[in-house]
Amino acid sequence: MSPSRSFSPVPGLTQLTVLARGGFATVYRAHQESVGRDVALKIDNRTLDNERDRKRFMREARAAGRMSGHPHVVDLFDAGVTAEGHPYLVMELCQTSYSQRLREHGPLPVEEVQDVGVKIADALAAAHREGVLHRDVKPANILLHYYGSPVLADFGLAVLDDMHRLSPATLDVLTPAYAPPEAFRSEPPTQAGDVYSLAATLYALLHGRPPRWPAEGTPSLVEMLALHQQPVPDLPGVPPRIMNALRAGLAEDPAQRPTAEWLRDELAAASGVIVPTLLPRSEPTATLPLSGTSSVQEPTQQVSPQVTPQTQVSSQAPPHTPLPPSVPPTQAMAPPPRRPSAPPHQPRPVSTFTPSVPPAPPPPPFTDPVPPAPPPAPPAYWTYPDLENNWRKRVMAALSSLLSMMRNNRRA
């Protein structure tokens, strides 16, 4: 059982269990209480001493977080700095790494390695379009997702290497088996270095060990520089087109290596797979690479090359140039097969069917509407013309009678 840690330095994460320890970082399995899921917590052993380094790490971690939306890049959930000054990353939890699969099962089938190469090269191509370098591509940093898809991990911590390079007492810990030759010459990192590391990783998955690497022991720095001058031998059962693509990526001169897009398309063309091209983002951010440590033991060696005070990352990959004439024609890279053009689009014929429905009768002619008759006026109950006439007649008759009586009385 892996040792656990009772106190979590990251708020919201509990049940920390050590998954792996490396030279630079420790990886824990943790439980995120807010959403109820298990995650991978990677805490770097180094510390960020000032606020400037902390802001720089967060800026680069955000740039790497933009890559987590790629289907073949490990999702980055959170990043920050602990109270003790240790930077950390919270990532999705995967089931295993290809370094562990290589150790347990030996060389992998060509079809599986070809699929890994296409997907990881597509992830590197997307990162290079964003101006992000990985600088630590190796089998230990290619993980196997729980759904069976390979994903590239450790975008997020390589900027710490550049921060500590300013100190002359700090030694760079490389992975010599997968590091490009220019890394031993203290040259600035480029996109071509990621292509070399991916080609060396694919060769190791096919062969069981890195290219030009001895079966036993770790060579010295002088021996490693000499190993890069040796040709890459063929592997039994591997198609020549795949071998030629790997040789192009393992070229000793960075200017002769292809881009990640070319390596992806060449590996896909060898199997007849059409890879959809992702559109670049509207605002690419040039940034320094991010790397970390892995959960397995890689053949490592401490190297202290001559370091310049200031390093600059080149965000432009050198154009690919053809192999030198010394390469036999059988090893020359063949162009991808041209797909047959699709037949011209034929419009669908228009149907002439008309239903047998009688025509609707024409609408009646328009006529102005007749205005409604006004309502009858209410009866004038206060006039009573008939009653008034009768009353007058009766009054006049009474007066006439009264006058007649008065005349009669006077006569009498």
Are 306 and 174 a contacting pair, CB within 8 Å?
Answer: no
Name the residue among 42, 60, 50 with its Cα closest to residue 85: 50
CA distance 114 to 139: 14
DSSP one-letter string for 53-68? HHHHHHHHHHHHHGGG
- The pLDDT value given to residue 274: 56
CA distance 11 to 4: 16
Instruction: Kindly state the tokens that stand for 394.
Output: 């009766």
Q: Which of 135, 212, 247, 257 is catalytic?
A: 135
- The pLDDT value given to residue 402: 84
- The pLDDT value given to residue 213: 84
- The pLDDT value given to residue 364: 67
In the predicted model, residues of the chain with pLDDT beneath 70 are 1-6, 60, 63, 156-174, 272-360, 363-371, 376-389, 391, 412
Domain ranges of the chain: 94-309
Is residue 135 annotated as a catalytic residue, yes or no?
yes
- The pLDDT value given to residue 5: 61
- The pLDDT value given to residue 13: 93
Name the residue among 58, 90, 86 with its Cα closest to residue 74: 90
Contacts by 168-173 with C-beta closer than 8 Å and gap 24+? Answer: 168/307, 171/302, 171/303, 171/304, 172/302, 172/303, 172/304, 172/305, 172/307, 173/23, 173/24, 173/300, 173/302, 173/303
Sheet holding 96-97, edge to edge: 96-97, 142-144, 150-152
- The pLDDT value given to residue 160: 44
At 93, the amino acid letter reads: L
- The pLDDT value given to residue 16: 92
Instruction: Kindly state the tokens that stand for 193.
Output: 């270095």
Fold of 94-309: Transferase(Phosphotransferase); domain 1 (1.10.510)
- The pLDDT value given to residue 29: 93
- The pLDDT value given to residue 312: 42
Instruction: Kindly state the tokens that stand for 309.
Output: 């005070």
- The pLDDT value given to residue 155: 72
